[in-house]
């Protein structure tokens, strides 16, 4: 792979949560789970009257986003947001369609929050965040292209930070049969920058990607594979999605 | 206190995910929307659906009358009893 094509940005902080209940059959190594929050989510920062709008998916995204920002004392109203989710509100949509098939009335709340950018919208409302926000889905490459989008945004707004949150709920039946591996419910948030003055600690991350000629098999979703690489001793690693090689390299700042 | 008032409060708490609120926290005569409990328009639709399912009543979401019925737990109880012919 031609490393001259690689793009670089700084990772200021990261926070990952995985649902312990959904981890069965995933067989993830301790080297990953040691760096993951497995506790039940409470989100005390959001008042109950607002918090009740969060479902499983948006609750995870909010939880890791707020904790990622908190660890660096970054203001949640100043970051540019990229929220990335391969399946989005799929489980909510399944429930809505089931209701329609069974001639039941559809829940207005489920309907209003069933769009892909629900979690991003709730984050911006709850944090009075008026910065640009992007909601991305790109199949098994969702995390990679979200990182690329974050890079683009940082090039355009070089003095800003980008909060990248990549999250997915475990896919419920009947659509789980389309997946070739068991995936847990998880959310990973990264705080990114390209401003050298902002980076006190963290990592310099370089990445590039190349489409594969043949279908690929990966043992875990790309964001979790990235997290494992981040906490490993390896300076670089080639990760893969279902159809693309993603090359990552890191340097501690 | 009519038994139906507590049933309505239970429906409000369950259908609107008010996990931190108990039946005793909801005032029977206080407004549900705006100043009182602080519910919004999506809540109104969600609550209407839940009450329809629970009490098997007919609701016209566009009428001014419905707005009056949804003022408080007490007015909702009057409305449901009237529909069920038990008032």
A50 shares contact with chain B (CB less than 8 Å)? no
**Vertex A182 angle, CA A176 and A185, to 5°:** 85
A49 shares contact with chain B (CB less than 8 Å)? yes
A112 shares contact with chain B (CB less than 8 Å)? yes
Range B52-59 average pLDDT: 89
* C-alpha span between B47 and B52 (Å, rounded): 8
- The structure tokens 């993603």 sit at A246
- The structure tokens 């494992």 sit at A228
Query: In chain A, how many domains are there?
Result: 1
Q: Exposed (0-12), middle (13-18) or buried (19+): which is A1, by Cβ within 10 Å?
A: exposed
- DSSP assignment string, B17-84: T-TT--GGGS-SSS-SBTTSS-B-HHHHHHHHHHHHHHH-----TTSHHHHHHTS-HHHHHHHHHHHH
pLDDT of residue A4: 67
- Residue B56 pLDDT > 60, yes or no? yes
Q: What is the pLDDT along chain A (253 residues), one digit of tens a residue?
A: 445 689 999 999 999 999 998 888 788 998 899 999 999 998 888 887 888 888 889 999 999 999 999 988 888 999 999 999 999 999 999 999 999 999 989 999 899 899 999 999 999 999 999 999 999 999 999 999 999 999 999 999 999 999 999 999 999 888 988 888 889 999 999 999 998 777 678 899 999 999 999 999 998 999 999 999 999 999 999 999 999 999 999 998 8
* C-alpha span between A34 and A212 (Å, rounded): 32
pLDDT of residue A215: 94
pLDDT of residue A199: 65
Nearest CA in chain B to A48: B20
The distance of B41 to chain A (nearest Cα, Å) reads 10
Range B56-78 average pLDDT: 87
Nearest CA in chain B to A104: B53
* Cβ–Cβ gap B17/A52 under 8 Å: yes
B14 shares contact with chain A (CB less than 8 Å)? no
CATH number at residue A98: 3.40.47.10
* Cβ–Cβ gap A52/B53 under 8 Å: no
A42 shares contact with chain B (CB less than 8 Å)? no
CATH number of B3-84, picked from 3.30.70.1350, 1.10.1200.10, 1.10.260.40, 2.30.30.280 = 1.10.1200.10
pLDDT of residue B87: 53
3-state secondary structure of A27: coil
pLDDT of residue A2: 46
Question: What domain range includes position A137?
Answer: 3-252
Select from A48, A107, A112 the Cβ nearest to the Cβ of B49: A107
């Amino acid at each position: 792979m031609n490393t001259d094509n690689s793009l670089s940005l700084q990772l200021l902080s990261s926070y990952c949560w995985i649902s312990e209940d959904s981890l069965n059959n995933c067989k993830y190594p301790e080297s990953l789970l040691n760096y993951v929050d497995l506790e039940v989510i409470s989100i005390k920062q959001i008042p109950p009257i607002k918090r009740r709008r969060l479902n499983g998916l948006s609750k995870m995204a909010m939880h890791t986003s707020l904790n990622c920002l908190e660890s660096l004392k970054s203001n949640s109203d100043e970051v540019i947001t990229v929220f990335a989710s391969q399946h989005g509100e799929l489980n909510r949509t399944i429930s809505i369609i089931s209701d329609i098939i069974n001639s039941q009335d559809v829940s207005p709340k489920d309907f209003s929050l069933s769009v892909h950018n629900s979690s991003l919208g709730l984050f911006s409302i709850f944090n009075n965040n008026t910065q640009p926000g992007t909601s991305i889905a790109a199949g098994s490459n969702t995390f990679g292209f979200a990182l690329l989008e974050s890079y683009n945004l940082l090039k355009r707004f070089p003095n800003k930070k980008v909060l990248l949150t990549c999250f997915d709920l475990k896919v419920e039946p009947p659509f789980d049969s389309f997946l070739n591996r068991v995936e847990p419910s998880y959310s990973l948030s990264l705080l990114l920058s390209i401003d050298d003055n902002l980076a006190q600690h963290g990592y310099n991350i370089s990445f590039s990607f190349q489409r594969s000629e043949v279908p690929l098999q990966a043992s875990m979703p790309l964001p979790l594979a990235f997290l494992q690489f981040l906490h490993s001793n390896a300076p670089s690693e080639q990760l893969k999605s279902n159809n693309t090689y993603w090359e990552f390299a890191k340097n501690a700042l | 206190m009519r038994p139906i008032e507590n049933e309505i409060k239970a429906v409000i708490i369950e259908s609107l995910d008010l996990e931190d609120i108990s039946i005793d926290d909801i005032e029977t005569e206080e407004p549900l929307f705006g100043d009182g409990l602080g519910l919004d328009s999506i809540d109104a639709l969600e609550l209407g659906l839940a009450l329809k399912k629970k009490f098997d009543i007919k609701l016209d979401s566009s009428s001014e009358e419905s707005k009056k019925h949804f003022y408080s737990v007490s007015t909702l109880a009057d409305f449901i009893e009237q529909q069920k012919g038990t008032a």
